[in-house]
Amino acid sequence: MNGQYRIVTQTILGVGKSTLFLLRVLAGLPSVLARPFLVVYQIYMVGVLSLIIISISGLFVGMVLALQGYTSLARFGAEETLGVIVALSLMRELGPVVTGLLFAGRAGSSLAAEIGLMRATEQLSAMEMMAVDPIKRVIGPRFIAGVISMPLLSAIFTTLGVLGGYLIGVELLGLIPVRIGRKYSMPRPSKMTFSTASSKA
Amino acid sequence: MNQDDTLVSIRGLSFKRGGRVIFDGVDLDIRRGSVTAIMGPSGTGKTTLLRLLGGQIRPQAGSVKVDNQEIPTLRINELYQVRRRMGMLFQSGALLSDLNVFDNIAFPLRENTQLPESLIRTLVLMKLELVGLRGAHQLMPWELSGGMARRVALARAIALDPMMIMYDEPFVGLDPIAMGIIVKLVRHLNDALGLTSVIVTHDVKEVVTIADYCYLISDGKIMGKGSPKELMQSGSAWVHQFMEGKDDGPVPFHYPAKDYAHDLMEAP
């Protein structure tokens, strides 16, 4: 393993290690579910505590979308499609993606710091010696908490975004609210949950 | 020494890390019920030896037998079974920082047994009483002094009533009183609970007062072994230097360098 191929082998090694880690986490999940209290606590830590930043960003993203969209649409006299544009873009793309990024930033970094500290102070090592698998006790609950909170946060983000769009469109710009009849495809929240997993590794 | 008398038996142990040889053909025996000290200069892999005993890392060659089980070949579940009967005291204490003293000691019991909460409470208080900290069971780890944290960690290490307890540098960074308490506790717990203790340390003075048998390790080899008294009178110059803490001897004071006068005169 020398010379110019080192970077390639190291990268492949890294990908393999991460995959193995993910598989080990998944294999440990059944025993995590036996201790729901830990999961609930972690949902509070990663989910509930991320609510503020998610809500505020959602609201403002919706408001900005509506405001900027309106100026462009008004030029073509298509103001009535503003609601559809805001709702669609939030639901299909912006909601899950931005929530995922924010979630990885807010919850992911705090998780990484927490677990890093536990490693540095030998707490993980001590758990292993007490015959407790840190992957089941420490990583598992946080992983499930991330998987559960991410779609919910994404839904909250989208809802508040649409609300922000409504505030701008109807209250500020005086458009007439109409019921949107079409059914939209569900958001794809699974896209970003992976980032939480990788930040834990 | 017959087979049943030996709890730990290491034969031909070799371990390398990143091209550096940590152990090179180490043989080591630990008798049941004894306090065995493993001493050596910093960085000779004393802590690594404990990790090998606990199965956290695997050696490249050689056998590590604990209670007649070959540790490196065990599967993870079997390893956990063995670890339930091992206690380990980490240098930093390694208390779980989000749990208080009581929950820290209850942790191995809650995770590994199905005991009712009332019994766990009794057990935890008994262990805390042994280390003299029953009154501190509501404190958080960051409210403890270094000596107290180590005693709590000790109580946690014996929570599952292990057959063997491993101490990683138990005397480092303590004031004389706290040190005296730990020294006394190690010996007392060993005899009262019928444990086998393995102490990894470089504090010669403290450990010779309680150890039954000592191993000196340096550069991946056993440099000396025997009871503290035998080692003190050892003919080996290296053992003599280590036990007495002399600044010069087989381990030189100076890092290898070129000639001093020549070095000073040399133009930059």
Q: Give this complex's ipTM.
A: 0.75
Contacting residues of A for B88, CB less than 8 Å apart: 126, 129
What is the distance in angstroms between the Cα of A46 and the nearest Cα belonging to chain B?
A: 16
Q: Is B90 on the interface with A (CB under 8 A)?
A: yes
Q: Calculate helix-pair angle for A51-75, A82-89, nearest 10 degrees.
A: 140
Which pLDDT belongs to residue A181? 43
| DSSP class of B154 | H
Q: Which residues of chain A have pLDDT under 70?
A: 1-3, 175-201
Are B198 and B214 in contact by the 8 Å Cβ rule? The answer is: no
Residue with tokens 């420490």: A138
Q: Is A31 on the interface with B (CB under 8 A)?
A: no
Mean pLDDT of all residues belonging to chain A: 80
Q: Is A89 on the interface with B (CB under 8 A)?
A: no
Q: Is B47 on the interface with A (CB under 8 A)?
A: no
Q: Is B122 on the interface with A (CB under 8 A)?
A: no
Copy the structure tokens of residue A48.
């509930």
Copy the structure tokens of residue A19.
């995959």
pLDDT tens-digit map of B115-126: 888 899 998 998
Q: Calculate helix-pair angle for A51-75, A95-103, nearest 10 degrees.
A: 150
Contacting residues of B for A129, CB less than 8 Å apart: 54, 56, 83, 86-88
Question: Which residue among A117, A129, A132 places its CB closest to the CB of B88?
Answer: A129
Split chain B (268 residues) into runs of 10 and give each run's mean pLDDT. Answer: 72 82 84 87 81 84 84 84 87 85 89 87 89 86 86 88 88 84 87 88 83 85 82 78 77 76 79
| Number of cross-chain residue pairs from A and B with Cβ atoms under 8 Å apart | 52
Distance CA(A96)–CA(A69), nearest Å, equals 20
Question: Which residue among A126, A131, A137 places its CB closest to the CB of B94?
Answer: A126
Are A73 and A81 in contact by the 8 Å Cβ rule? The answer is: yes
What is the distance in angstroms between the Cα of B84 and the nearest Cα belonging to chain A?
A: 6
Question: Which residue among B54, B56, B97 places its CB closest to the CB of A123?
Answer: B97
- Record the pTM: 0.76
Closest CA to B177 of B144, B206, B208: B206
Which pLDDT belongs to residue A187? 43
Contacting residues of B for A137, CB less than 8 Å apart: 111
Distance CA(B268)–CA(A12), nearest Å, equals 46
Which pLDDT belongs to residue A176? 67
Which pLDDT belongs to residue A56? 92
Distance CA(A190)–CA(B221), nearest Å, equals 54
